[in-house]
A and B are shown apart, each in its own frame.
Chain A
Amino acid sequence: MSVLVYVENVQGKFKKSTFELVSYGFAVAQKLGTSVTALSIGDVADDELQKLGKYGAAKILNAKNDKLKTVNVQPYGSVIAEAAKAEGSKVVVMSASFSGKGIAARVSVKLDAGLGENVVDLPDTSSGFVVKKGSYSGKAYAFIGITSDVKVISLVPNSFRVVENSAGAAIQSFDPQLSENDFKLVVKETIRATDKISLPDAELVVSAGRGMKGPENWGMIEELANVLGAATACSKPVSDAGWRPHSEHVGQTGIAISPNLYVAIGISGAIQHLAGVSSSKVIVVVNKDAEAPFFKAADYGIVGDAFEVVPKLIEAAKAFKAGQN
């Protein structure tokens, strides 16, 4: 009957979004009068698994199997569904990461469970089971009732704060049935920049657009991001032109992010860009053009030349950070 929380690891380590997810699962379990069972798949050491107990996992299922070392959506979906059945879970939660979205969809079908995808808040259980998600590319919210007996939720990273709730953290080995048919897709190569903060998980983001005039000018954007401890992002024209990698493109056809702070330098704020960033809690816009539409969607705005304003922001950020420590 427990809430099953599938936790992702990157090279054997959990990220902040994992702890957010367990905290979320714990809050859902409380609403339903039950506990959290976390399910980890892959090669994660016991002392890393133990951390999940700090955020509410009463039990931790450790599905450690050579064939499951790399994330593979089809077999992972089978493992999670099997664990959910074994636990009698009525709610299965996972992160709406790139893999998570695909896995949640497959688990939903396996369990005949309604899927609340890309959810941004706790379910409302006052009348049924209703979850909130973004819709119309950030222009609206949809409240979706999940009416099936078993429910699957994928949670958007950075939409639920990490909360400490000490729980048992009893680690148990989980040995799932594996089917040949699940391994048709072969992972050849994984290329991941481990030194940079991953955009979808980032709390702070510094982004820039065509107003920077060329890739050679990105030094100050990277510096500002560095000082703030932020991830870097860019607008579509910039990634299309090859000035910045595609993985930095935020917008309707790029990545959707929901950081606590989004600083946009030299970006006009077209609707397609806003679609990717409108869930940001605080938006700062710096643009030479006072008529830039982005100012209408911003909390703070500075009309000025990026090449003059950003150095001031960097200096102030250094002092700000020094003052904090």
Chain B
Amino acid sequence: MKILVCISHVPDTTAKINFTPDHKEFVSQGVTFIINPYDEIALARAIELTDGGKGTVTAINVGDVSTEPTIRKALAIGATDAIRVNTAPRDGYFVAKQIAHVAKQNNYDIILCGRESSDHNGSSVPSMIAEMLGLPSVSSAKKLDVEGNVGTLEREIEGGKEIVTVEFPFVAGASEGMAEPKIPNMRGIMSARTKPLAVVEAVEAPQLTNVVSYDKPPARSSVKMLAPEDAGKLWEMIREEKKVI
């Protein structure tokens, strides 16, 4: 079984978010970067499914050379090999185009992504890749099991879940619950240095969106504290002051 796992290089969850004075770019100096949390889940599941010689896991990232430490982490966790498409990730569509192009040249049985990245919160890349390749997709899957060449997934829906089955090949976005993220062991970390990391050039793609600016939300005005004995006054207060109930 050949699985392609899409890895995003994102700021650490606890990082303070700052933008350049023109509000057009995220300030990455001094920020620790990690594998996108949902992608870690996807990677862990892919490794579980191919464990014991049952297949290979290729990690792919669309990014410039600064993302290589993050890609090496994916190799340390257990990916077989990796590919970096040498370009900045312009938007979801652009990233999907690059990955679809690489996928077209290889016969992956499953393409796994995290359901969304913690920086752009797009949740569209897995479905876009699928559409570009004419494949079925599940954009948010909480479970993925494989038997033969059939995947059984638990799709997230409002207030419940849906069980779906689909033959290889397909694309899925991993959500929480699909697997526990793996911590690389010593052997993994050592082998990451020598596992193949191929760098390929990007392909042309139309630019359909651009970032006009980023902004931080206005801070909430300071909290209004109530003593526990006055808890009963809360709802009237909210109704009067905020009018949401």
- Could you list which residues of chain A lie within 8 angstroms of chain B, going by C-beta atoms? 10, 73-74, 77, 97-99, 101-106, 108-110, 112-118, 128, 130, 133-137, 139-148, 181, 184-194, 196, 198-201, 203-204, 228, 246-247, 249, 252-254, 256, 260-261, 271-272, 275, 278, 281-286, 295-305, 308-309, 312-313, 315-317, 319-320
Of B13-21, B103-111, B183-191, the one contacting chain A is: B13-21
Within 54-80 of B, Cβ neighbours of A (below 8 Å) are at: none
Please, could you name 14 A-B residue pairs with CB atoms under 8 Å apart, sorted by A?
A: A105-B92, A105-B128, A109-B96, A133-B121, A136-B11, A137-B13, A137-B118, A144-B91, A261-B244, A278-B217, A298-B223, A305-B228, A313-B232, A320-B235
- A140-B158 contact, Cβ under 8 Å, with A110-B131, A117-B122, A301-B226: no
Q: How far is the CA of A254 from the CA of B142 in the complex (A)?
A: 11
0 or 1 for each of B209-223: is its CB under 8 Å from A? (1 = yes): 111111111001101
- A316-B231 contact, Cβ under 8 Å, with A102-B127, A136-B118, A300-B224: yes
0 or 1 for each of B1-37: is its CB under 8 Å from A? (1 = yes): 0000000000101100101000000100000000001
Q: How far is the CA of A320 from the CA of B131 in the complex (A)?
A: 51
Contacts of A312 in B (CB 8 A): 228, 231-232
Contacts of A286 in B (CB 8 A): 231
Contacts of A260 in B (CB 8 A): 244-245
- A284-B234 contact, Cβ under 8 Å, with A113-B208, A191-B160: yes
Q: How far is the CA of A198 from the CA of B160 in the complex (A)?
A: 9
Q: CB distance A141 to B215 under 8 Å?
A: yes
Interface centre among B127, B210, B211, B221 (most CB of A within 10 A): B127
Q: CB distance A114 to B209 under 8 Å?
A: yes
Chain B residues with a Cβ closer than 8 Å to the other chain, count? 86
- Could you list which residues of chain B lie within 8 angstroms of chain A, going by C-beta atoms? 11, 13-14, 17, 19, 26, 37-38, 41, 91-93, 96, 118-128, 130-132, 134-140, 142, 152, 155-167, 170, 173, 175-177, 206-217, 220-221, 223-228, 231-239, 242, 244-245
Known contacts A105-B125, A137-B119, A271-B13, then 15 further A-B pairs from the complex at CB < 8 Å, ordered by chain A residue? A98-B155, A110-B131, A128-B212, A135-B119, A135-B121, A140-B216, A141-B215, A144-B210, A145-B209, A148-B206, A253-B41, A301-B226, A304-B228, A312-B232, A313-B232
